[in-house]
Amino acid sequence: MQVKNFNNLPKIELHLHLDCSLSYNVVNKIDSNIDIDEYKSSFQAGSSCSSLKEYIKCADRAIELMQTKENLELIVEDLFAQLFNDNVIYAEIRFAPLLHCEQGLDSQKVVEIICRTAQAQSKKYKIDYGLILCTLRHYNERESLQTVKLVDKFRKNGVVGFDIAADEAGYPIDNHIEAFNYAKKNSINITAHAGEAKGPESIWETINDLHAKRIGHGVRCIEDKKLVHFLAENNYHLEICLSSNIKTNTFYSFKDHPLNQIYNSSISLSLNTDGRTISDTSLSKEYLIAKEKFKWDNNMILQSNLNAVEHAFTSVKIKNKLRKLLNSAY
| pLDDT the model gives residue 4 | 55
Domain boundaries, the chain: 11-329
What average pLDDT does the chain have? 96
Percent of the chain predicted with pLDDT > 70: 98
> Is the pLDDT assigned to residue 172 strictly greater than 80?
yes
Comparing 40-49, 99-108, 148-157, the range with the smallest average pLDDT is 40-49
Could you give the angle at the alpha carbon of 54 between the alpha carbons of 49 and 56, nearest 5°?
Answer: 115
| pLDDT the model gives residue 1 | 44
**Catalytic positions, please?**
196
Give the DSSP H/E element, type plus range, for residue 194: strand 191-194
CATH for 11-329?
3.20.20.140
Percent of the chain predicted with pLDDT > 90: 94
Could you give the angle at the alpha carbon of 257 between the alpha carbons of 254 and 260, nearest 5°?
Answer: 110
Name 184's Cβ contacts closer than 8 Å, sequence gap at least 6: 190, 211
Across the beta sheet with 268-271, what order do the strands follow? 191-194, 214-217, 237-240, 268-271
> Is the pLDDT assigned to residue 86 strictly greater than 70?
yes
Comparing 1-10, 24-33, 110-119, 273-282, the range with the smallest average pLDDT is 1-10
| pLDDT the model gives residue 50 | 74
Summarize the confidence of residues 292-312 as an average pLDDT.
97
pTM of the model: 0.96
